[in-house]
Amino acid sequence: THVLLQEQVKLLWFNWWANMQAITFHRSKKLYIKNLELLNSQQMHMAFTECYNVKVTGLKVTAPPESPNTDGIHISASSQISVKNVAIMT
């Protein structure tokens, strides 16, 4: 399965504490994510678990300053993950 996210995709959560993470990819292969912006996720903005052959570029992650705990990108039990040109901030 091929997944492509690109060209100025913006995800925004107004009720941010109700959402544990913005996007989770689980057991995914051959992912290409480009120019994605994630705002105000509660904890993890983007998570990869048991994924293989993933390329992420041009990602912008912004957490609210009052957030008690945020992870920009969480990667676990995955291989061949490339993350480039990423801005993570509050």
pLDDT at residue 57 above 80?
A: yes
Distance CA 81, CA 90 (A): 24
Confidence of residue 34 (pLDDT cuts 50, 70, 90): confident
Model pTM?
Answer: 0.75
- Nearest alpha carbon to residue 44 among 65, 23, 60, 25: 23
Q: What mean pLDDT, rounded, does the chain reach?
A: 79
> What's the mean pLDDT in 17-24?
64
Higher pLDDT, residue 70 or 40: 40
